[in-house]
Amino acid sequence: MKKTSPVCRVLVVLGTRPEAIKLAPLIRRLGQTSGTSVATCLTSQHRDLVRPVLEFFGIRPEFDLDIMAPGQALSDAANRVLRGVSRILAEQAFDVVVVQGDTTSALFGGLAAFYRQVPLAHVEAGLRSGDLKRPFPEEAHRRLLDILADYLFAPTVTARNHLLQEGAAPERIYVTGNTGIDALFQARQLLHRQPRPLPIDLGPGEKLVLLTTHRRESFGQPLRDILSAVRDLTRHRPEVRVLFPVHPNPEVRAAVSAVLRDCPRVHAVEPLDYPDFVQAMLQADLILTDSGGIQEEAPALGKRVLVLRDTTERPEGLDAGLAELVGTDRSHVLVRCLACLDNPQAADDTFHQLYGDGRACERIVAVLTGQASAAVTRRAA
Ligand code: UDP
């Protein structure tokens, strides 16, 4: 019998934890779509953080570029992604390459597709902080990708407007919602059926503050100031416990050892597996973070988030009053934490869909397989 070849062969390139979280539901959906084949290329920019995410979603990468080397410069990592993805594209035919966000893996995986003239799809297109160097190097990466990509999957109308203002052709842009919200809702559903224990014990009446911080531009004094503010917080409010999954970056670990010694109510732990982290978000009274993805997830769960940065590419949470930019100044961070804990804001259902409704992957797959008109997808979000 004659074998029919798939109509759409997709290569998904990813390297870091947030890319894995945001692309896993898309990879799964592509895998379940008839007439479509999907292969996953892991660059291993973050190997230890990515593997558990892919396992949770039941994904086994077909390719592993294993690009990381100790103390490697960004340019060396970039070079290895470019060469690795180019080699795959030279050896196997793909109809489209999908990358997500703003990492070195995304930009140089995307550039490899561009050089080989394979259509490129950028998931989470159009995010802008307005400052090319903050976050560094992500803002530059995402702008460059949006020039190269054939399909621009913007998570929100704000992101689409950025692309239009920069001159992107409207027919390249699809507003889909953020695929990270698809992943979050899938994890939340699982946790409703099977809750996971927190890695720390909370006593009666105790409040949980969840902290993550690892941005390169905060390294040094700003990071030490953030951690000092958190230490001050537990001294001012004995009912507060801070759960702090610490990013493996050595700069972050050194700051934690220097500032958070002798702080019994600041629990610095290893990074949590994604469902455990979602469980912690669900239970948190307040979330402090400089992460991009967590700025999207917190409002989707009706949680208030203080953003430990001076700029953000996710203004929707600020506009809705669920997120606030507090920077890294020690006393300001403390004052805002105290104010939020003393005046808890009720969750409001309308905030839950700021960044997506959990159907972004469905829309993206419909576009990639030619089953949705641009107009339909644009109207959808
Ligand atoms: N996350 C996780 N475990 C943790 C901390 C975060 O699974 O211990 C998840 C979080 O839910 C979010 C993503 O990792 O989806 C954010 O990753 P990160 O802060 O590394 O990157 P960014 O969002 O800033 O790009």
Distance 289 CA to ligand 1 centre (A): 10
- Scan for tokens 């970056």, then name that residue: 249
| Nearest Cα residue to atom 13 of ligand 1 | 18
Which residue is catalytic, options 122, 141, 247, 314? 247
From CA 57, how far away is CA 302, in angstroms rounded?
24
**CATH assignment of 8-177+359-380, given 3.40.1190.20, 3.30.1490.20, 3.40.50.2000, 3.40.630.10?**
3.40.50.2000
Query: Per-domain residue ranges for the chain?
Result: 8-177+359-380, 197-351
Distance 293 CA to ligand 1 centre (A): 6
| Nearest Cα residue to atom 2 of ligand 1 | 274
Note whether 8-177+359-380 and 197-351 share their fold: yes
Percentage with pLDDT > 70 across the chain = 94
pLDDT band at residue 7, thresholds of 50, 70 and 90? confident
With a cut of 60, say whether residue 194 has pLDDT above it: yes
Distance 47 CA to ligand 1 centre (A): 14
CATH superfamily of this structure's domain 197-351: Glycogen Phosphorylase B; (3.40.50.2000)
Helix axes 221-236, 250-259, angle to 10 degrees: 40
Q: Which atom of ligand 1 is nearest to the CA of 278?
A: 11
**Mean pLDDT over all residues of the chain?**
93
Distance 41 CA to ligand 1 centre (A): 20
With H, G, I as helix, E, B as strand and everything else as coil, classify residue 66. coil
Q: Which residue has the higher pLDDT, 136 or 336?
A: 336
- Assess contact for 153 and 381: CB atoms under 8 A: no
- Assess contact for 115 and 142: CB atoms under 8 A: no
Q: Which atom of ligand 1 is nearest to the CA of 272?
A: 8
Q: According to the model, what pLDDT value does residue 378 have? A: 45
With a cut of 50, say whether residue 369 has pLDDT above it: yes
Q: According to the model, what pLDDT value does residue 346 have? A: 57
CA neighbor of 300 nearest in space, from 350, 345, 364, 360: 350
- Assess contact for 218 and 226: CB atoms under 8 A: yes
Do β-strands 8-14 and 36-42 pair in parallel, antiparallel, or remain unpaired?
parallel
Q: Residue 61 contacts by C-beta under 8 Å, 6 or more apart in sequence? A: 40, 41, 42, 54
pLDDT band at residue 372, thresholds of 50, 70 and 90? low
Q: Any residues with Cβ below 6 Å from ligand 1, and which?
A: 17-18, 21, 180, 212, 245, 271-272, 274, 277, 291-294, 297
Q: Kindly state the average pLDDT of the residues 296-304.
A: 94
Which residues are paired to 244 by β-bridges?
Answer: 268
Please give the torsion angle defined by the CA atoms of residues 24, 299, 323 and 259, in that order, rounded to the nearest 10 degrees. Answer: -60
With a cut of 90, say whether residue 3 has pLDDT above it: no
Q: For Cα atoms 110, 112, 113, give the angle at the middle one, nearest 5 degrees.
A: 65
Q: Which residue has the higher pLDDT, 310 or 347?
A: 310
Distance 18 CA to ligand 1 centre (A): 6
Told to judge if 214 belongs to the known catalytic residues of this protein, a careful annotator would answer yes
Q: Which residue has the higher pLDDT, 163 or 262?
A: 163
Q: Kindly state the average pLDDT of the residues 358-381.
A: 74
With a cut of 50, say whether residue 290 has pLDDT above it: yes
pLDDT band at residue 65, thresholds of 50, 70 and 90? very high
Q: Which amino acid is at 220?
A: G
Which residue is catalytic, options 19, 46, 102, 313? 102
Choosing from 49, 294, 297, 311 the residue with most ligand 1 atoms within 8 A of its CB, the one to mutate for a pocket test is 294
Told to judge if 236 belongs to the known catalytic residues of this protein, a careful annotator would answer no
Question: CB-side exposure of 80: number of CA atoms within 13 Å?
Answer: 16
Which residue is catalytic, options 122, 128, 214, 314? 214
From CA 309, how far away is CA 158, in angstroms rounded?
20
User: Is 136 buried (19+), middle (13-18) or exposed (0-12) by CB count in 10 A?
Assistant: middle
With a cut of 70, say whether residue 209 has pLDDT above it: yes
Q: According to the model, what pLDDT value does residue 6 have? A: 57
Q: How many CB atoms lie within 10 A of CB 195?
A: 12
For 70-86, write each residue's pLDDT tens digit: 888 999 999 999 999 99
Distance 211 CA to ligand 1 centre (A): 11
Q: Which atom of ligand 1 is nearest to the CA of 271?
A: 8
For 18-57, write each residue's pLDDT tens digit: 999 999 999 999 999 999 999 999 999 888 899 999 999 9
- Scan for tokens 């390139």, then name that residue: 13
The pTM for the full model equals 0.94
- Assess contact for 77 and 104: CB atoms under 8 A: yes
For 93-127, write each residue's pLDDT tens digit: 999 999 999 999 999 999 999 999 999 999 999 99
For 229-270, write each residue's pLDDT tens digit: 999 999 999 999 999 999 999 999 999 999 999 999 999 999
